[in-house]
Amino acid sequence: MTCVCRGETTHFRRWTTKCTSSRRLVPAPHCEHAFCNACITQWFAQQQICPVDRTVVTLAHLRPVPRIMRNMLSKLQIGCDNAGFGCTATLRLDQLQSHLKDCEHNPKRPVNCEEGCGLEMPKDEQPNHNCIKHLRTVVQQQQTKISDLEKTVAEHKHQLGEQKRDIQLLKAYMRAIRSANPNLQNLEESIEYNEILEWVNSMQPARVTRWGGMISTPDAVLQAVIKRSLIDSGCPLSVVNDLIENAHERNWPQGLATLEVRQMNRRYYENYVAKRIPGKQAVVVMACENQHMGEDMILEPGLVMIFAHGVEEIL
């Protein structure tokens, strides 16, 4: 058995420690000489003859070696491919691939940076690795992603604003039609009621832990802040002003009208179904969800209750 390496003809046992480009043998069909597949392919790129006896042979004539030869090869001792990098292991050929995966001298073995950035890289690139340079690249990539996300959010907000305007125009159109045809009154009321239900169901349930912190007489600035939050949450514009009017105790029902009455009725407050106004220490208590509270504890379309603290979302 022979092999062609670097333009030479060598004995197979020498190949087992020298040729590292391939472990597969192919024999020429006529002379039955066996060669390393990679090396004989390189040889045939220059000349179409057998390196041993000079008979005419081409790549098309080659075929795999018999099983008995492959079994014999698997038992031969061979040096590790990483011998040039310090590995002194000598092992059977059939164990080579599994050894190469874990060989600590493999210059391409993945390792993690131990200086802080944690980047995984080939071992031979570690000496030239610069954590700051890598982290700068990571930061730049993150900044690019953030910029792209901000653009996407801005586009979505613009689209949402256009959709809200379209909806308001449609509502105005429906009201105009209703005014021309009183029979459509029930249809408009049904549409508005469904809008309110859809909005209420989208709100996060809330729990009030400090009813004593209720702000019963919010000033105009605080009311404006709450109104903006209601609009941003998707509250139907047809009820926004009514809800803000109902944020002041002067419009509250009999059961909430004064501080003394509220103190007497505080034990009933836990029965309210309340929804958190996003980002605020305030809740909205809608009549459609609180019919069980009675007329002296609820108003149409609902109440807004503002607190100094103590509003929690129910997850």
Q: What is the per-residue pLDDT across 54-104, written as a single tens digit (0 to 9) for each? A: 888 777 777 777 787 777 777 778 888 888 888 888 888 778 888 888 888
DSSP labels for 269-280? GGG--EEEPTTS
87, 101 Cβ separation under 8 angstroms = no
Which of 176, 198, 222 delimits the end of a domain? 176
Assess whether 276 and 296 both reside in one domain.
yes
Per cent of the chain over pLDDT 90 is 29
Same domain assignment for residues 125 and 241: no
Would you say residue 86 lies in a domain?
no
Same structural domain for residues 148 and 194?
A: no
Number of domains observed in the structure of the chain: 3
Q: Would you say residue 228 lies in a domain?
A: yes
Instruction: Tell me: do 130 and 212 sit in the same domain.
Output: no
Residue 275 corresponds to which tokens in the numbers above?
């929804």
**What is the C-alpha to C-alpha distance for residues 167 and 165, in angstroms, rounded to an integer?**
5
Average pLDDT over residues 145-152: 93
Q: Which tens digits make up the pLDDT trace of 200-257?
A: 999 999 999 998 889 999 999 999 999 999 999 999 888 999 999 999 999 999 999 8
Q: Is residue 100 in some structural domain?
A: no
**Domain match, 133 and 211 both:** no
Domain identity same for 227 and 297: yes
Looking at residue 38, its pLDDT comes to 78
Statement to judge: residues 192 and 302 lie in one domain = yes
Tell me, yes or no, whether 99 lies in a domain.
Answer: no
Residue 93 and residue 72 in contact, taking contact as beta carbons nearer than 8 Å: no
β-pairing, 34-36 vs 77-79, is: unpaired
**Domain shared by 191 and 301, yes or no:** yes
pTM for this predicted structure: 0.45
- 268 domain-assigned: yes
Cα–Cα distance for residue pair 26/32, rounded to 1 Å: 9
Q: Give the residue numbers spanning the domain of 30.
A: 2-74
191-200 pLDDT, tens digit each = 777 888 889 9
3-state secondary structure 123-143: HHHHHHCCHHHHHHHHHHHHH
Q: Which of 22-26, 82-86, 130-134, 284-288 has the lowest mean pLDDT?
A: 22-26
Final residue belonging to a domain, choices 134, 157, 176: 176
Do 228 and 274 lie in one domain? The reply is: yes
